[in-house]
């Protein structure tokens, strides 16, 4: 007997935050592999990127969703020798994503920011 698995809200949020979206979910055996029966389209799904740039340690970088869209997930990357991503979180109004980082031996750090947006 096979165990059935359920997609929890936390797993869905993690999937969306990783940029995989619904389409990457495995299809049940009884559904066509191209479009599972449970697949839904997220209206206006879009990933917006703020490319890497060096900024002073702890300076925030923010990427915003296009007008009318809200952030449903996001992430960031700190680049450089001994770079540390200090924070990665949505803006208070839900329209973008913020990131900041630092390097121990340098006064600046490279930061890239990504926002997953939808209507």
User: With the C-alpha atoms ordered 28, 32, 36, 38, is the resulting torsion angle positive or negative?
Assistant: negative
Tell me: pLDDT of 55 over 80.
yes
Instruction: Please give the structure tokens belonging to residue 16.
Output: 């969306």
What is the average per-residue pLDDT within 37-44? 75
What is the average per-residue pLDDT within 19-30? 42
pLDDT at 33: 53
Q: Are 119 and 43 in contact (CB under 8 A)?
A: yes
Q: Are 55 and 108 in contact (CB under 8 A)?
A: yes
pLDDT at 29: 53
Tell me: pLDDT of 27 over 50.
no
Residue whose structure tokens are 């999937």:
15
| Full-model pTM | 0.67
Q: Are 107 and 56 in contact (CB under 8 A)?
A: yes
Tell me: pLDDT of 43 over 80.
yes
Give the model's confidence band at 41: pLDDT under 50 very low, under 70 low, under 90 confident, else very high: confident
Give pairs for 24-28: CB < 8 Å, separation 24+: none
Tell me: pLDDT of 13 over 50.
no
Residue 73 and residue 15: Cα distance in Å, rounded?
A: 9
SS3 14: helix
């Amino acid at each position: 007997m096979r165990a059935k698995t359920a997609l929890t809200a936390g797993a869905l949020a993690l999937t969306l935050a990783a940029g995989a979206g619904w389409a990457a979910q495995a299809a049940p055996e009884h559904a066509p592999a191209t479009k599972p029966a449970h697949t839904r389209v997220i209206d206006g799904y879009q990933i917006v990127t703020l490319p890497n740039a060096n900024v002073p340690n702890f300076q925030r970088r923010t990427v915003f969703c296009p007008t009318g869209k809200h952030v449903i997930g996001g992430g960031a990357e700190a680049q450089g020798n001994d770079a540390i991503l200090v924070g990665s979180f949505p803006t208070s109004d839900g329209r973008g994503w913020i990131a900041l980082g630092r390097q121990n031996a340098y006064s600046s750090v490279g930061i890239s920011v990504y926002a997953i947006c939808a209507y």
